[in-house]
Chains A and B, each alone.
Chain A
Amino acid sequence: MLEIKDLHVCVEEDGTEILKGVNLTINKGEIHAIMGPNGSGKSTLSKAVAGHEAYEVTQGDILFEGESILELEPEERAHLGVFLAFQYPVEVPGVTNKTLLRQAYNTIAREQGREELDPLQFEDYAKDKLDLIDMKEEFLDRSINAGFSGGEKKRNEIFQMAVLNPKLSFLDETDSGLDIDALKTVANGINQIADEDKAVCLVTHYQRILDYVTPDHVHVMIDGKIAKSGDKDLAVKLEEQGYDWLTDVASVSVNGEQ
């Protein structure tokens, strides 16, 4: 589904190279976890896949279902079925979740040649998804993330993912800052959404969400490259030993705060 080949990415503003040759293949039906210390390039990778204009691809390619998406605008990538759950979800006062999601859902449906939903149909459809994240109906009528607690914002990302039903989801530190109950809710949401036709990539600092969502593949990113890949046992090893054994340069412990 997603094939990242020798990807080099710079910050457009000052030319600093952050990704220095990432190779990664994600097939449908798989759950991947990308771990790594701060500053290793995990978030940059998510944003580069989503098409953030502040990051410039200087070498390599990103293929989605066999086609390069480098030239596509962020919304065009979304139309194909690429979703990014933001590390810091943005507030949009005065625009309700419902308004955003219905417009987003219908735009994507239109682009994919599926049927659009009228306001009533959409409301029913969205209400079903609310259960996934254990939120009440009022959630639909609140302004996007405005005045939300940190946990609510993260749940809202999972809710949006459930509504938009993307093929590939990058979850950028969706687990950070959550208490254990919220973490379980979020993990539960992810598990329910993930199926054999979809792929999920969890970008995370911590091993703890992997207690609830079992990844098929775990990758460790260090200094802009994937330093090691393995199965879920790799995450356990990281939990126990930190990243030091992977590199002399990185010396941040897995459980260490930022």
Chain B
Amino acid sequence: MSESEALESMVGGEYKYGFTTDVEYEDFPTGINEEIIREISRRKDEPEWVTEFRLEAFEKWKEMEEPDWPNVEYDRPDFDNIQYYSSTKKKDGKKKPESLDDVDPEILETYEKLGIPLEEQKQLQGIAVDAVFDSESIFTTFKEKLAEAGVIFCSISEAIQDHPELVKQYMGSVVPKGDNFYAALNSAVFSDGSFVYVPEDTVCPMELSTYFRINNMQSGQFERTLIICEDNSQVSYLEGCTAPMYQENQLHAAVVELVALEDAEIKYSTIQNWYSGDEEGNGGIFNFVTKRGHCRGDNSKISWTQVETGSAITWKYPSVILQGDNSTGEFYSVAVTNQRQQADTGTKMIHVGKNTKSTIISKGISAGESNNSYRGLVKISPRADGAQNYSVCDSMLIGQTCGAHTFPYIESANPTAKVEHEASTSRVGEEQIFYLQQRGMDEDDAISMIVNGFAKEVLQKLPMEFAVEADKLLGIKLEGSVG
């Protein structure tokens, strides 16, 4: 498989990932209660402290109300009708495959079809992959090679077994169990996600990536990811997501926690292409996610880059708590909505340390009858002397029936802080398209060129291998969006 084919598959195309894989699942009851949570923990063979973590979260969740402030409309999920754990039947009763021979060939084929072959020799050089299928990590590649550098890259379930001290120390330290409604739900029922640990003075030798796939129609996916960078270390991580086309909505409620210690740097990129529902707005993923990074050490840096093109509803604010002095937080986002999609996304930059800096570049593109909101908070605490923020929120409208909204919140309690906010709204016009057509481009290429120009600042932040494909994805997503 050529590099470009592989990458194309990673980010998607016209939605060609809507197929379903026919696998046998272990029986698991639907609904949520204490017994179900204990059962999840039992199936995963978890130590007592994890079970306790889950139960405490569940207690909090029961007391919480689903928030209604986001600028999206949907039918509240029926929490009693969701299957919170979805595991395929394994050969010989093994829990986790030791080699690819132990993985169900149907699942291997699924990843092959998605363009993510799990055989290491078939993969792109320099990218290690963790493949998560419904509730489980199927396989993680290049583990040995990474281990040579001291980097741990595995599923969170394995990390709980093999590195409990690290998980215990950090899990829930950035996003507490009861942080918000969906984070609490995730903390109670979380299944798999990735775990990354980069030791001191280490630059992770490979790009790390996780590929999330929801297959089971009834199940939700409760991804839990934790990335820790010790002093003076660096990592770049990328996640990709797809799901089959179902008439019903599926819930993806993730929690992602990043911890950067002194002089450490984490770059986290997302290319989200969950199934977005059909033209009438039936089906599609509810993408309700809590992502937060903690710049715990001085001079640390956390950078979020997201290209959000899928999901019926996207509701997420990848944030950074800038605690270490001179730490830096960045948020680069392109959110595309088309047809009936809705997105309410943005970031929070919480400045605590001195001379902390944050940059927010948000590009929202709405087409069809979709609704796209940017919501962001910049908060400067009293001791954050010399803090600086620079925000740009640009919206682009394609057609007459979509909506774009901006909700910036700025709270500054330190007079030495500098906060700048710029916003703009533009419309892709007939004249712009005609101009490019006159130069020889067809309508879809013209729109693609205009949109990519608009989103360029953000696309440039993606790891290079993925930038080209993200470019294409934007174009494909908006094909035919001008009458």
Contact = CB atoms under 8 A, between A and B. Distances in A.
A160 B439 contact: yes
Interface of A: 50-54, 73-75, 77-79, 83-84, 86, 88-95, 99-101, 103-104, 107-108, 111, 143, 160, 164
Nearest to B429: A90
Contacts of B437: 51, 73-75, 78
B452 interface: yes
Contact of B456 (A50, A73, A78, A94): A94
Contacts of B445: 103
Contacts of A52: 434
A54 B453 CA distance: 25
Nearest to B363: A94
A100 B449 contact: yes
A92 B449 contact: yes
B454 A75 contact: no
B455 interface: yes
B436 to A, nearest CB: 7
A75 to B, nearest CB: 5
Given A103-B449, A143-B453, A92 B439 contact: no
Given A88-B431, A164-B440, 11 more contacts: A54-B430, A73-B437, A73-B442, A78-B439, A84-B438, A94-B452, A94-B453, A94-B454, A94-B455, A107-B440, A143-B453
B440 A104 contact: yes
A111 B452 CA distance: 24
B455 A90 contact: no
A56 to B, nearest CB: 14
Contacts of B457: 94
A160 B429 CA distance: 21
A231 to B, nearest CB: 30
Given A74-B434, A90-B432, A108 B450 contact: no
Contact of A75 (B432, B442, B450, B453): B442
Interface in B413-435: 429-432, 434-435
Interface of B: 429-432, 434-443, 445, 449-450, 452-457
Max count, chain A CB within 10 A of own CB: residue among B440, B442, B450, B456: B440
Nearest to A170: B438
Contacts of B452: 94-95
A45 to B, nearest CB: 15
Contacts of B431: 88, 90
Contacts of A93: 453-454
A95 B439 contact: no
Nearest to A78: B440
A88 B432 CA distance: 11
Contacts of B449: 92, 95, 99-100, 103
Contacts of A86: 435, 438
12 contacts: A73-B443, A74-B434, A74-B438, A75-B442, A77-B438, A90-B429, A90-B431, A91-B432, A92-B449, A92-B453, A94-B453, A95-B456
Nearest to A85: B438
Contacts of B430: 53-54
B434 A92 contact: no
Nearest to A84: B438
Nearest to B394: A93
Contacts of A75: 437-438, 440-443
Contacts of B435: 86, 89-90, 92
Contacts of A90: 429, 431-432, 435
Nearest to B451: A94
A89 B431 CA distance: 9
A160 B443 CA distance: 19
Contacts of A50: 434, 438
Contacts of A91: 432
B45 to A, nearest CB: 51
Nearest to A95: B453
Contacts of B434: 50, 52-53, 74
A85 to B, nearest CB: 9
Contacts of A79: 440
Nearest to A50: B438
A164 B439 CA distance: 8
A101 B432 CA distance: 15
Contact of A92 (B440, B442, B450): B450
Nearest to B442: A75
Contact of B450 (A83, A89, A95): A95
A84 to B, nearest CB: 5
B441 to A, nearest CB: 6
